Amino acid sequence: MSQAREILRVEGLGKRFPGVVALDGVDFDLREGEVHVLLGENGAGKSTLIKMLSGAYQPDSGRILADGEPVAVRTAADAQRLGIATIYQEFNLVPQLTVGENLALGRPPRRFGFVDTRRMHEQARGLLDQVGIDVDPRTRVADLGIAQMQMVEIAKALALNARVLIMDEPTAVLTTSEVRRLFGLVGQLRERGVAVVFITHHLEEIAQIGDRVTVLRDGRSVAQVPAGTPEEELIRLMVGRPIDQQYPRQVATAGEPLLQVRDLSRAGAFSGVSFEVRAGEVVGLAGLVGAGRTEVARAVFGADAYDSGEVLVRGRRLPGGDVRAAMEAGLGLVPEDRKGQGLVLGADIAENLGLVTLRGATRGGFVDRAGQRQAAARVAAQLGVRMSHLGQEVRTLSGGNQQKIVIGKWLLADAHVLILDEPTRGIDVGAKVEIYQLINSLTASGHAVLMISSDLPEILGMSDRILVMARGRLVGELEAAEANQDSVMALAVTEVEDARVH
């Protein structure tokens, strides 16, 4: 890599927002045909940096150089002209349009003044073949899966002849096999000379895919190291201190069952699901994407109806499809999509923390705003939310702090049973440990936690018992002390008709 040509460099890049220094003199360089991992905690400045490279933000200080020459990247069109393409966590696709239309957006082939649909689809087919995805170009993007959407985004970058591809958390929602496929494609791009900026919170991926790593901390570039650097050292560089345990589970004594699910079924989603979660216990719910885990969680919480079975909280049977009844019984849900379902992004921190308790804080049609803010301040301090003030909009917080707010509203409501659906997705290792310590404090105080996660080390490290789902059925139960990744995965891929509960 040392002889590879440098194609992009940033020097002393700085960016300020009201009350926040997002970047403070960041240096970064990118070479032809390398995968350069950008690593750092949420709020370290990674998103700000890539938004400046893609034209969404302009720097307040420093400069960007392409092929050794200073350049101004004021718009997305400027970035495109420089050969820089960015794939964000929230895909930049138009769901209502077809795959072919998305790939040709803004520059469709024309014939006699009209869009040449046949040629557009032929070009799209060629791009899709390059990324190895078998999708009809006439398919609406809204009908694609997440992994397919990601491949379409990469195909868009190829259509733009991108020399630099920035990938923001590309593996966050992919299965293991989809990750392998993505890494294979990244390898092909590297061989063509495309330079890739790869952002991930999955430390185990870095050595597999990367060449070099630049670590950001508190808006500064603090180190550049080889991709083979041990994980413990990467963590120390990221958070400024060593983390003794990535999964600091403190086992509490299990008490009475707080959540009981009996023979729950919904046609086409899940069937015959039965389990219980006791006071002081973390029960992990594992399985491949599409196994039915989230569907079960939403049905238990009352967000979706179910056809048969029953849900009991502290021995009280809940009516199906009734979220208010579930909340009043002491059940809380931290959804997988925290931005779309767990937060009001335009509201401030205090308002979001008070969402669940707002009804109880209303007397005679008036909300006790002072009381709500006092309670919000107490919970925000308890959770260590990094913020400028309670009136700060939630959309401006890092992912880890947003997740603390989603959990915090249930703490404020004193939920006895908390369902956590992918609680640390898109969160850095330091914030993960803080979430895990919060889980420990919940179970130590007699609460119960049902944790859904696609991160097997997390399930193994933070669960007392592990339930495994496959094809809408509960196919196994393992004691965490006896479980390993192989035993969980063996159950996760079990054919349902052969399933046995251990």
**What integer pLDDT is reported at residue 360 of this predicted model?**
58
87, pLDDT greater than 80: yes
Residue with tokens 């032809």: 32
Mean pLDDT along residues 165-176: 82
Mean pLDDT along residues 263-281: 96
| Side chain identity, residue 476 | G
SS3 332: strand
Q: Same CATH fold, 256-340+414-499 and 6-241?
A: yes
CB 466 within 8 A of CB 459: yes
**What integer pLDDT is reported at residue 288 of this predicted model?**
82
Phi and psi, residue 169, nearest 5°: 50, 55
**Lookup: tokens for 300:** 């238990």
Quick one: fold of 6-241? Rossmann fold (3.40.50)
365, pLDDT greater than 50: yes
Residue from 321, 411, 255 nearest 311 by CA: 321
pLDDT digits (tens, 9 = 90+) for 324-343: 999 999 999 998 888 888 88
Ranking 160-164, 347-351, 353-357 by mean pLDDT, the lowest is: 353-357
Residue from 460, 454, 453 nearest 487 by CA: 460
Q: What is the percentage of the chain residues whose pLDDT exceeds 70?
A: 95
CB 463 within 8 A of CB 236: no
Q: Give CA torsion, residues 469, 470, 474, 476, to 10 deg.
A: -80
84, pLDDT greater than 90: yes
Mean pLDDT along residues 132-153: 86
Question: pLDDT band at 500, cuts 50/70/90?
Answer: very low
Longest dimension (CA), the chain: 76
238, pLDDT greater than 70: yes
Residue with tokens 């868009």: 156
**What integer pLDDT is reported at residue 265 of this predicted model?**
96
Residue ranges with strand state E in 234-363: 257-266, 270-278, 282-286, 308-313, 316-317, 331-334, 362-363
Mean pLDDT along residues 257-262: 97
Mean pLDDT along residues 341-358: 84
Stated pTM of the model: 0.68
Selection from 140-144, 352-356, 366-370 with the highest mean pLDDT:
140-144
Residue from 103, 425, 116 nearest 294 by CA: 425
CA separation for the pair 2, 83 (Å, rounded): 22
**What integer pLDDT is reported at residue 107 of this predicted model?**
79
More confident residue, 132 or 61: 61
- Domain 256-340+414-499: assigned CATH number: 3.40.50.300
pLDDT digits (tens, 9 = 90+) for 30-51: 999 999 999 988 778 898 999 9
Ranking 131-145, 277-291, 362-376, 424-438 by mean pLDDT, the lowest is: 362-376
Phi and psi, residue 65, nearest 5°: -120, 135
**Chain length of the chain:** 502
CA separation for the pair 387, 405 (Å, rounded): 11
Mean pLDDT along residues 69-86: 93
Count CB-CB contacts under 10 A for residue 222.
15
CA separation for the pair 404, 413 (Å, rounded): 14
More confident residue, 468 or 127: 468
CB 12 within 8 A of CB 25: yes
SS3 40: coil
CB 226 within 8 A of CB 213: yes
Q: Beta strand pairing status for 195-199 and 35-39?
A: parallel
SS3 316: strand
CA separation for the pair 180, 184 (Å, rounded): 6
Mean pLDDT along residues 140-153: 85
3, pLDDT greater than 70: no
481, pLDDT greater than 70: yes
Contacts from 471-474 at CB under 8 Å and sequence distance 24+? 471/291, 471/292, 471/496, 472/269, 472/270, 472/271, 472/291, 472/292, 472/295, 472/496, 473/270, 473/271, 473/272, 473/273, 473/292, 473/499, 474/272, 474/273, 474/274, 474/275, 474/501
Question: pLDDT band at 498, cuts 50/70/90?
Answer: very low
69, pLDDT greater than 60: yes
| Side chain identity, residue 215 | V
Domain extents for the chain? 6-241, 256-340+414-499
Give me the chain's average pLDDT, please.
87
Mean pLDDT along residues 267-271: 94
Question: pLDDT band at 133, cuts 50/70/90?
Answer: confident
